[in-house]
Structures are given as C-alpha cells and as structure tokens.
Amino acid sequence: MSFRPESSSAKDMRDRLIIGLDVPSVEEARALVDRIGDAGTFYKIGYQLAYAGGFELARELIDQGKKVFLDLKLHDIGNTVEAGVRSVARLGATLLTVHAYPQTMRAAVAGKAGSSLKILAVTVLTSYDDSDLVEAGYAPVPAAELVARRAAQARDIGVDGIVCAAPEAERVRAILGSDRLIVTPGIRPAGAEAGDQKRVVTPADAIRAGATHLVVARPIVKAADPRAAAEAILAEITQAA
C-alpha cells in the first residue's frame, strides 16, 4: 500500500526525501547543504552532528525554510522526555525520534502538544536480533513480534509515525493504518554500495511498501555530485508514488 499525501505537489514529493547530514562538523554540513541546493528540503541531524553544534545548524536550516528531523532517539523518565520534547518543538523541528516505550511515547506526545512537531517512534533498533534482546534481559520474543507490538502501542498512544527498515514497512503500514508516517533508512539506489547496511531497498521499493519518507545519507553525502544524486533519488520517488 503506497502512501499518497493529500496533495502531491512537486514540493511535497521533495519533502519525502530526508537527507542524513552524517558529517562530523557544522562547517561540512553547511557546505553540503549549499551544494545540494533546492534538491534538499528536509535534513536529518543525528547524534554525531547534534552534539557538535547541530542544534544551531538546525535553527539556521529552519530559518532558511528547510525542514529538520532531529534523530535523538530520546528515552528517559516521562517528565524529562516531556520537557525535552517541548524544547525541540520550540526550536521548530519537524520530526523527532523517541524509543517506543509506552511511558516515553506518552510523554513525547504530551510534550509536543500545540506545536507542529511530529514524533516518530523507533520500535526495535535494527542492529538488534532475537539473541540481542535476550542478552538485554527480555523474555524470548522474536524481534519482528516486538516491532509489531510496539508499532500498535505507538498507534494507540497517538505517535505520528514509526521509523523502520524498509522490508518491515508493509507490515508496519498494516498496523498503523493509512494516516501515519513511516520513515525508512537503509535505502540504496540501484547500483549503489550497500556499506554497512545489511538489508537495503531501492527508493521505489520503499515507497511501494508504504514509506512516506526515505532517509538517505551516504549515497548523497559521499557522491561526487550530491545534488545530482539527490535529484536522481527524487525522480525515483516521484515515479513510484
């Protein structure tokens, strides 16, 4: 079931590509954003850049009219999560990740109240398999089952969407219904290097599986021509949508 935004203008299509600013410094990130130009409307800032001046950069990008996804994967006591989310909402970010624990998700939903911030839940980190969950103290449960259970909890709590690997998108879409966001990393245009991503999917396949947004970093960040790489992925998204 592929997702169709109510209006699918060219601008909305552009917003479906989230470019991961996986670079070590704000200076490098600024240079990259400049090179990508209007092919990039939505940027993800993760741990590496957030803790190296990335919040200031987020403000700059928002002031330039770009959208920002803060991939901070928050998880703490409810009071702390709620206050943190309120600060992120004030910053003007569009998306923020939290871990899909019910207390944390409820606190995040409370913290974003009255703002346009959308909360994405991370169900089970894709680096975890069944044995990692047992090692972490969980009663034996297949990781795929835990993904499904947490996706249903996220839906019931009123979280705006889920981050999941593209191969899980179809199953997660069936749980969430048609109106929530599904954001998928691990995307590789045909012929690109997989890097350390084990299960990669093309942009078109991820869109067809129900993803609303794709997160792409290395295929754009490391490209000789990042703008052309972003444009090629956008063309693939537009064709599949």
Residues making contact with ligand C5P (CB under 6 A) = 20, 22, 46, 126, 165, 185-186, 195, 197, 215-219
Burial class (CB in 10 A: 0-12, 13-18, 19+), 211: buried
Nearer to ligand C5P, 58 or 216 (CB): 216
Q: Do 201 and 184 contact (CB within 8 A), yes or no?
A: yes
User: To the nearest whole angstrom, how small is the minimum distance from the Cβ of residue 220 to ligand C5P?
Assistant: 8
- In which element (H, E) is residue 130 found? helix 130-135
Nearer to ligand C5P, 82 or 104 (CB): 104
Q: Do 66 and 74 contact (CB within 8 A), yes or no?
A: no
d(CA 120, CA 122): 7
Is residue 66 annotated as a catalytic residue, yes or no?
no
Q: Which of 44, 73, 198, 222 is catalytic?
A: 73
Tell which phi-psi region holds residue 27, choosing left (phi > 0), alpha (psi between -120 and 50) or beta: alpha
User: To the nearest whole angstrom, how small is the minimum distance from the Cβ of residue 230 to ligand C5P?
Assistant: 12
User: To the nearest whole angstrom, how small is the minimum distance from the Cβ of residue 54 to ligand C5P?
Assistant: 12
Q: How many residues in the chain? A: 241
CA–chain centroid gap for 107, Å, is: 19
d(CA 166, CA 201): 6
- The number of helix segments (H) and strand segments (E) in the chain equals 12, 8
User: To the nearest whole angstrom, how small is the minimum distance from the Cβ of residue 186 to ligand C5P?
Assistant: 6
Nearer to ligand C5P, 22 or 82 (CB): 22
Nearer to ligand C5P, 82 or 147 (CB): 147
Which residues are catalytic, by number? 73
